[in-house]
């Protein structure tokens, strides 16, 4: 069947390729050599490369990929003064790619992530698994003890209300990593040799009301459902904090998804994370975050969104106001961040004028929580 990936010799229904509906967003400051290994899986797709750091450097994209590339000059040109919300010298800049994408789905991956093998030795098509995750419902309202009930070979267990078995639309698919695990700097220093070798063969929905640490290394989402909330914050150059970009986005995203009855999945697919960044450098970047997260988590756990917030943008603006008011007391950084959150939404709506249509989709798909 054209446009699908078929698993040879299997009766599992094929996953659609979605090659015209999905962009792959890759932040890079070095090179894109890693794409060679991903070629069999990525080549059908359009890539959006966000080049961080020195814009005069030329980043070579391997032959045969269809791509658009943006460096800092492009970002400044396209956004003008609003470019202030896009981080510099931090992979947080990748969210610019989300903003300029015109597709329904985005998959983002770090340039030190490679194809992993499953326990049978087969190469894992991470993108295909993300698509499966996004195209099947989530189950945030009641935990299914057999994990993803829509997976081949699984189902809802006894006691699962039938009224909940249609599930909720999936907004985010959060994948994991074998080899170098995503640890913070202190843990990295205490356990420099630890490698994640455990393949947990599950996808599960993170329950409504539960926050999680979202890692941007291996992440896919439905741009139409949740895109405006995927702002990766102010990190890197000129900022007091780094390595909390994806975390920040994940907390905002989860609060909004919970409010709009959208689902967030975590688990498969795995990829192979090859590089452990320097823990001393990491510690300097994360240091403030380690302290601030003690206040940030309770903030997000108690953040509320009113019934009037029936679009992602409205939810996000409301969150920015709460950030300004409550977290602004901890450090002036959060006031800047709240401003940047507003700027981001303005920029998003400017670049995505059919955001009105996106709002309708969001309102249709999700009902504002009581």
Partner 1 sequence: MTVEVHDGEVDIVIAALQPNLTPFFEAWRPFFSRFHVIVVKDPELAAELQIPSGFDVKVYTKSDIQGLLGATSIDFSGHSCRYFGYLVSRKKYVISIDDNCLPAKDPAGVTVDAVTQHMINLKTPATPFFFNTLYDPYRKGADFVRGYPFSLREGVECMLSCGLWLHNADYDPMTHVVKRNQRNTNYVDAVMTVPLGAMLPVSGINVAFNREVLGAVMFPGLRIRKQGNHRWDTLEDIWNGLCAKVVCDSLGYGMKTGLPYVMRSDAEAGKALESLKDWEGVKLMDDVLPFFQSVKLSRNGVTVDGCVKELAGIVREKLAPKNPVFAKAADAMEEWTKLWKSHGAQSA
Q: Min. distance of Cβ 119 from partner 1 in angstroms?
A: 7
Query: 152 near 12, Cβ under 8 Å?
Result: yes
Residues in 116-135 at the binding interface with partner 1, rule: CB under 8 A: 119
Q: Which is nearer to partner 1, 160 or 344 (CB)?
A: 160
String marking each residue 161-190 x if it binds partner 1 according to CB under 8 A: xxxx---------x-x----xxxx--x---
Could you give the CA distance from residue 5 to residue 97 in angstroms, rounded to a whole number? Answer: 26
Which residue of 97, 167, 227, 250 would you call a contact of partner 1, by CB under 8 A? 250
Stretch that binds partner 1, among 42-50, 85-93, 107-115, 142-150 (CB under 8 A): 142-150
String marking each residue 320-339 x if it binds partner 1 according to CB under 8 A: --------------------
Residues near 301 by Cβ (< 8 Å), separated by ≥ 6? 211
Q: State the number of binding residues for partner 1 (CB under 8 A).
A: 59
String marking each residue 252-271 x if it binds partner 1 according to CB under 8 A: --------------x-----
Longest dimension (CA), the chain: 60
Residues near 337 by Cβ (< 8 Å), separated by ≥ 6? 233, 234, 248, 323, 327
**Can residue 156 be called a binding residue for partner 1 (CB under 8 A)?**
yes
Look at the chain and count its residues.
370
Q: Which is nearer to partner 1, 78 or 297 (CB)?
A: 297
**Can residue 240 be called a binding residue for partner 1 (CB under 8 A)?**
no
Query: 91 near 233, Cβ under 8 Å?
Result: no
Which residue of 7, 12, 189, 202 would you call a contact of partner 1, by CB under 8 A? 202
Q: Min. distance of Cβ 45 from partner 1 in angstroms?
A: 25
Residues near 136 by Cβ (< 8 Å), separated by ≥ 6? 148, 150, 167, 170
Could you give the CA distance from residue 323 to residue 336 in angstroms, rounded to a whole number? Answer: 10
Neighbours of 307 (CB within 10 A): 10
Q: Characterise 112 by phi-psi region: left (phi > 0), alpha (psi -120 to 50), beta (else).
A: alpha
Nearest to 49 by CA among 64, 71, 34, 30: 71
Binding residues vs partner 1 (CB under 8 A) = 119, 141-147, 151, 153-164, 174, 176, 181-184, 187, 191, 194-202, 206-215, 243-244, 246-247, 250, 266, 286, 290, 293-294, 297
């Amino acid at each position: 069947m054209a446009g699908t990936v078929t698993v040879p010799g299997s009766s599992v229904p094929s996953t659609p390729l979605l090659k015209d509906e999905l962009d792959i967003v890759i932040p890079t400051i070095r090179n894109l050599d890693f794409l060679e290994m991903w070629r069999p899986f990525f080549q059908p797709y359009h890539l959006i490369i966000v080049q961080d750091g020195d814009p005069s450097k030329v980043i070579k994209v391997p032959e045969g990929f269809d791509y658009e590339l943006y460096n800092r000059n492009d970002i400044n040109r396209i956004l003008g003064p609003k470019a202030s919300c896009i981080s510099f010298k931090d992979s947080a800049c990748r969210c610019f790619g989300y903003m300029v994408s015109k597709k329904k789905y985005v998959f983002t991956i770090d340039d030190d992530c490679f194809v992993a093998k499953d326990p049978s030795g087969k190469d894992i098509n991470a993108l295909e698994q993300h698509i499966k995750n996004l195209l099947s419902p989530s189950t945030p309202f009641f935990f299914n003890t057999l994990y993803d009930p829509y997976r081949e070979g699984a189902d809802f267990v006894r006691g699962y209300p039938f009224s909940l078995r249609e599930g909720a639309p999936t907004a985010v698919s959060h994948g994991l990593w074998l080899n170098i695990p995503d640890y913070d700097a202190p843990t990295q220093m205490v356990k420099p040799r630890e490698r994640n070798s455990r393949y947990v063969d599950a996808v599960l929905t993170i329950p409504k009301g539960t926050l999680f640490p979202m890692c941007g290394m291996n992440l896919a989402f439905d741009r139409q459902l949740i895109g405006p909330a995927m702002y990766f914050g102010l990190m890197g150059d000129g900022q007091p904090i780094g390595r909390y970009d994806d975390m920040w986005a994940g907390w905002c995203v989860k609060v909004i998804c919970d409010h709009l009855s959208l689902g967030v999945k975590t688990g498969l697919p795995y990829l192979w994370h090859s590089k452990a960044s320097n823990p001393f450098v990491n510690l300097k970047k994360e240091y403030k975050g380690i302290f601030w997260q003690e206040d940030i988590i309770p903030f997000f756990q108690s953040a509320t969104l009113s019934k009037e917030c029936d679009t992602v943008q409205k939810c996000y603006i409301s969150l920015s106001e709460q950030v300004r008011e409550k977290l602004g007391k901890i450090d002036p950084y959060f006031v800047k961040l709240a401003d940047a959150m507003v700027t981001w939404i303005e920029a998003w709506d400017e670049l995505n004028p059919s955001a009105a249509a996106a709002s309708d989709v969001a309102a249709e798909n999700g009902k504002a929580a009581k």
